[in-house]
Structure 1
Amino acid sequence: MIDVLGYAFVQNALWGALCTSVICGIIGTLVVTNRMVFVAGGIAHSVYGGVGIAAFFGLPILVGAMGFSVLCAVILAYMLLFAKERLDSLIGSLWAFGMALGIILVELTPGYNKDFMGYLFGSILSITENDIYLMLSFGFFLLLFVGLNYRIILGISYDSEFTRLQGVNTRIFSVVLMVLIALGIVISMRSVGIILIVALLSIPAYCSEIFTNSLAKMMLGASLISLLSMLCGIAVAYFYDLQAGASIVMVLAVFSFILAFVHYFKKLQTI
């Protein structure tokens, strides 16, 4: 087992797991506390439209994915503020449109190959040093942003109306949070992929929420749960030659079921 750690791609995967866990732990907490799991899912699946645009026009994949996902995030943020009654329809439309656009443009791209499937299902064992530097940079920025604006984020997450009455421009902050969610999804998609990223955003935060009573502790708990699940998933994928993204999500799902069962069993005993 120790010999495996000597491989560069395994070391990169472990660093990628650490960075992804921090990013998804923080963003996932914001998604769960603001009840935006479906919104995050819409943004995640629309990202593939950006992948297709970048591939078709010969742009860097991250540039296309970030640009398109940020555009979708801004649209959804304003719909969330001004047209909540039609938000689910718009999310479904963007979800389908983004995936369809990406698939069509990828197939129309000269020299199309199956490597694009890695963006759908992830490929953490093929993460490069450049990917790690990008994730580290975004992770530090995310920690700094949350640290400097923690009280505002706390207010928006639990009582946005009261926070607005305190003179905070909650609309601008809501748009910023949506953009950060979009960027976090794009930067983390190399780990578990566009299709499975929603699990990494929602399940650890949900599990952490069961045992914590503060936003900061919830972020920390979600990050630790994500990291543990990703390490176990990488090990399973490596030794059994399975798809890494799916292995991580399966480990995460089993862990969450056990955690939730133990919690509610103890809760029943106290009644």
Structure 2
Amino acid sequence: MLGGLTGFTDPKDTDWGERMLNRVASQTIRHLFTQSESVEVFVRCYPSSKLLQGSIDSFKMSGRGLVIRKDFAVEEMSFETDAVSIDFSSILSGKLSLKQPTQAVAQVILSETGINQAFQAELVKKRLLNLSEASLTAISGGEPVSFTEVQIKLLPGNRLHLLAKADLNNGELISLSMTLGIGIERRRRVSFKDPKIELEQIPEAQREVSQTLSTVLVEILDKMVDLDRFDLDGVKMRLNRLETEGQRLIFSGYAEIERIPSNS
């Protein structure tokens, strides 16, 4: 949807207002991310005198190699607004402030590698380790159960292949293997559904337990990926669709931009 937003460059006839605004906006947007390979911003304001009233025609951003909250890698992110009202005085002080919230069409691309790295983040691991639900401890003889070594491979048709280990904390590791579908629920949650549990490579004595634990893991994952937990400061993402494409997972939707953080 927004593939054309990557690689913005300022046209040669960009006037002083746009140049100043692009420079300030680029510096400001970089502070949304823990790390960024590149962040490009193109703000259109013609004529530049409209800046004095705080009016700009459009705001586009494209970023690559981004990291959110230290642990969550985003291969690409882009968004574009229509006309926006800004506080002109904030620009003169090297900041960018909105007069009122706005919305932007958005696209986020995650890589298979980045998704797998996210399973090592503390925010994710604490939902997979030392679980003491009765349905799990009944299997492990009263011990907490942990899901480890989670690895996914993206498949065509909005599906993925998932491998994991279940540590029963009694010296026994149970292998898990399945394919499952992914979708969007309520525009903010990634859902995991329709699991096809694979038991052929599981030792026969562990197959029943592996099937039970696989079902539990899918239920945990289905409740885990809520975008409200990963919001940027002042920016909320809402999703309309997702699509697997090779080793990439592509989300399309819109961003609710309440405010843009300062450079401080």
- TM bucket (normalised to shorter chain) is under 0.3
Structure 1 or 2: more helix by fraction? 1
Task: Report 1 or 2 for greater relative contact order, CA contacts < 8 Å, sequence distance ≥ 6.
Answer: 1
State the TM-score, normalizing by the size of structure 2.
Answer: 0.22
